[in-house]
Amino acid sequence: MTDRLSGKTVLVTGAGRGIGRAIAHTMARQGARVAAADVDMDSSEELVAELPTESIALGMDITSSDQVRSGVEKTVAHFGQIDVLVNNAGFLVFTTYEDCSEAVWDQIVDVNMKGTFLCSQAVLPHMKARGQGALINMTSLAAKTGGVAAGPPYAASKAGVSALTIGLARAVAAHGIRVNAIAPGVIETAMTDSAEHAPLKAQIPIGHTGQPEDVANCALFLASDEARHITGEIIDVNGGLFMD
């Protein structure tokens, strides 16, 4: 089946690399038109050139409400609609409770949590007016474990995303909008290519780390009509590293 998202428009943040890039490709292969947003416009443009469906590149810093609103407006102006928002953009620098600076804390929390909020806030009026929509947030295994290999600001920001997911799902369900999240474990990206993640990789029960496509396939399901009765859910994609 290659048309699960035919006629739909998907806005993906952090689309220029890693999981976001895989999500954009997966959505496009299923017929979606993609608005690929990234703080690095060059990476967005490179991605759009690879996609098989009509797509646009957006240079967007999700910590800026002005840039977020502008990106949403450009997407609606170009495609006429936004059916799915994937809040994928994230930032990680390993730090500890003792050495975490205020600047590092602010940057991580602003990108991961405030950015998710701002993007969600910006698309809601459009989705409410249409009486439909799906939001997919990216939380993390760190939100459940306290950040074994990530540090306090990352874990706290992702736990905040989990809470926002549940709260927003309740707030907008009556408007036909679904809100869910994905909690990846150790996925093979530049973000997990560190000494801190090596012990976790060795503990994965299923025997191997995940690939960006594993997360992308979960996002595809949540974006599709197959998930029409699912909202407020957080799906683990971690090979069994954390089970609940």
Among all residues, which ones are annotated catalytic? 154
Closest CA to 37 of 47, 22, 25, 51: 47
Dist CA 122 CA 73 (whole Å): 9
CA neighbor of 41 nearest in space, from 19, 65, 18, 14:
14
